[in-house]
Amino acid sequence: MLALAFLNPLLLWALPLAAVPIVIHLLNRRRFQRVPWAAMEFLLAAMKRNRKRLRMEQWLVLLLRTLAVLLLVSLVARPQLGGGGLIGTRTHHLVLLDDSASMTQRSGSTTLFDRAIDKVRALADDLATRRDGDLFSVVRSSRAATPDLWTARVGPELGRRVGALLKEFVVGDGAPDLGQALGQNVQRAAQVAEAGRTEFYVIADQRARDWATDDDKAKPSVLAALQAMRADREHLTVFGVGGQHQNLAIVDIRLIDRLAVAAVPVQVAIDVQNHGLDATAPTTVAFEVDGKSRVVRPVPQLAPGERVAIPIAHTFAQPGFHRLEAQLEATDLFLLDDRRALALEVRDRSRVLLVDGQPDEDEGEVFFLQSAFEPGGEALSGIEVQVVHEPAFAEIDLEPFDLVWLANVQSPAPTAVPRLEAFVAAGGGLVLSVGALVDVGRWNELLWRDGKGVLPLPLGDIAGDPDRPEHALLVAKDHPICGSLAEVLELLTGNVLLIRRWLTLVEGPSTAGGAAVVARIRDAEGPPLLATRTYGSGGGEVALWSVTADKFWSNLPSTDLLLVFANQLHKFAARRRDPSPHNLLPEGSFKASIDPGTFRPDITVRSLAGDGYEQTFTALEAPVAPVAPEGGAPAKTAGGHQPLQLTVPMADLRQLGAYDVDLARHDGTVEKRMFARNAPPAESRLVAFPDAAFARLYPADLQARVSFLGEGGGLGTAGGAGELWKALAVALLVGLLLETLLAWRFGRR
């Protein structure tokens, strides 16, 4: 229902001034005395004939003058449709304050968040002077479900109350969805029965990320929020507080190798991206490990949107957790994403299981493989080998191993195949070498299974002539197996390797799905020598050799090529140790299972930034899972205790960077773990969202519900939705002009 209110209702007391023209008219009539005069009788007779016309003219001019006074008083009192005040219903003013990480941008000597705080305070002060009786709410985008101030009555104390509240606000480092926050509060505001109208204010840096998708469409969460608004009673004012739109950021520090092992060079990459619309200037990035070993690498000029990986190699002397930190040379005003940390667990060894299908006391099937993985002497591979014979493979637990190599195994036990597939599907590595003992039919039945098994290609017949060995050719130098040694492998494969016998790997339209051939026999069109395949959602890699691991079918073990290929296969296929559980964003949580028989439940989390900040968290009893129908029981620790669950919400920590987790044992010693808390990469995208983009992306019927105010706009103007002052000003001007024209016209008569 449409209602009328006045922004300055106290000025309506001036309405009686509209009687002034009438009083003046009456007084003017009384100041004349009637004196009979013969000559006037003729004039009076003429006037009596025109009395009705003259009286109508006088009343018309008097009416215009009275109306002018009324319009002037109303104009100063500022009437508004749908507002609260003298008459009508109240307006609910709801401020949604963006406190995401992007609001930490510097703007002169302050931040965008500080400027946003000033705008909220100014709005509260403005409403307190002209919107007495309305309702006022403040909600931060990171806490959309829990308003900081809800439906407070607008009055003289509003400014002081809001100012005290704003002093407690601290800008966050998360990436809340502005559209979802708006939608939640549109629903909540609809339940406020006291308000007949709601004016929403979004005070933010007005970034494209908050309003548009990556493919330049209207963001679904914002679209849903605007559609939920009632066009006749709700309106949104977006107030941008500025901000820069050029930004160079470290978006990730990632492990290139599948796992990190002590005493072996580990490859990592620092990903730097230009999120701006202009090319960046060349700069540098510094890299540190545990606060030491500082190295500086150049960052080239990057085109808009371009991303570059800066490679770093480091050898960890000790196993355990280590922190890796990268710092960009300061190039912009958004410093939050110029630094990033990685918590990395370095293992003492990588375990490889060799399954020997043809044991021999001298040079068995895996003799050369074991020598390649564990060369001995000063050469360190970081690999620990365990050898088992084929019958024992069916019983061994595969979980501790990173790579399994089957060498000339006749046929894996049917019970072992599902375990092997599960191992690879979960990210484990598998290498297969064939030989004369291989039962081709069983391998195809159990391991190929019409392409559903782990084999990259089905097996065929044995081929080749021992008296006429064939050369080999590396046909995929860009394959991950080759890595940085592609030229070396190509040279050795083509000039040193000789193949006497091989087991045919069948290629064809029905068998080529997902398989990649790395090397071939004879020429580029010859039989496959080495084929690979990725199996399962966990990224497990499978490599299949068409020759034996011993020297009966080729001279591979007699050359250094086996040493190179074995270690490259380990790098390519070993189980990837995912560091993501230890590297989190502000919305995530670090979780760990704690054995109460070994550790105390109170866990200390300590920042490694050197500021002395630490916090204590308590591990709690985990919910007991229901007993499985097959008789399974909830998992317990080695000591028979029910494990405790440690949860560290990243939202409870106050800064970014690496943190130590100190687990105190009952014997007084401490076991350390680590995690890193980093800024969300999405907050690095600072490109603005102009008004024209909103008009282009959003439906026309929703655009009337939104107003955009630039950095120089005043919030007070946003609160005047439905004001009638323009119409009143026009009416007053027209009335004065008409009164002047009629007074001149009637006076001449």
pLDDT score at 631: 44
Residues 134 and 95 sit within 8 Å (Cβ to Cβ): no
pLDDT score at 509: 74
What span, in angstroms and rounded, lies between the C-alpha atoms of 163 and 165? Answer: 5
Per the confidence metrics, is the pTM higher than 0.75?
A: yes
Ranges of residues in the chain with a pLDDT under 50 are 1-3, 82-88, 626-632, 716-721
Residues 197 and 234 sit within 8 Å (Cβ to Cβ): yes
Which one-letter amino acid corresponds to residue 462? I
**Cα dist. 109→203, 243, 341, 393 in Å?**
20, 13, 27, 67
With 0-12 / 13-18 / 19 or more C-beta atoms within 10 angstroms meaning exposed / middle / buried, residue 555 is middle
Contacts of 263 (CB under 8 A, 6+ apart): 315, 316, 317, 380, 382
**Which stretches of 78-218 are DSSP H helices?**
112-130, 158-166, 178-189, 208-211
Q: Which two tokens stand for residue 239?
A: 């107030």
pLDDT score at 18: 62
What span, in angstroms and rounded, lies between the C-alpha atoms of 112 and 108? Answer: 9
pLDDT score at 243: 77
pLDDT score at 20: 67
What span, in angstroms and rounded, lies between the C-alpha atoms of 505 and 433? Answer: 12
What span, in angstroms and rounded, lies between the C-alpha atoms of 118 and 307? Answer: 36
Residues 171 and 655 sit within 8 Å (Cβ to Cβ): no
What span, in angstroms and rounded, lies between the C-alpha atoms of 158 and 126? Answer: 10
Give SS3 for 58.
helix
Secondary structure string (H, E, C) spanning 386-415: EEEEHHHHCCCCCCCCCEEEEECCCCCCCC
Closest alpha carbon to 73 in 725, 747, 739: 725
**Which stretches of 478-525 are DSSP H helices?**
486-495
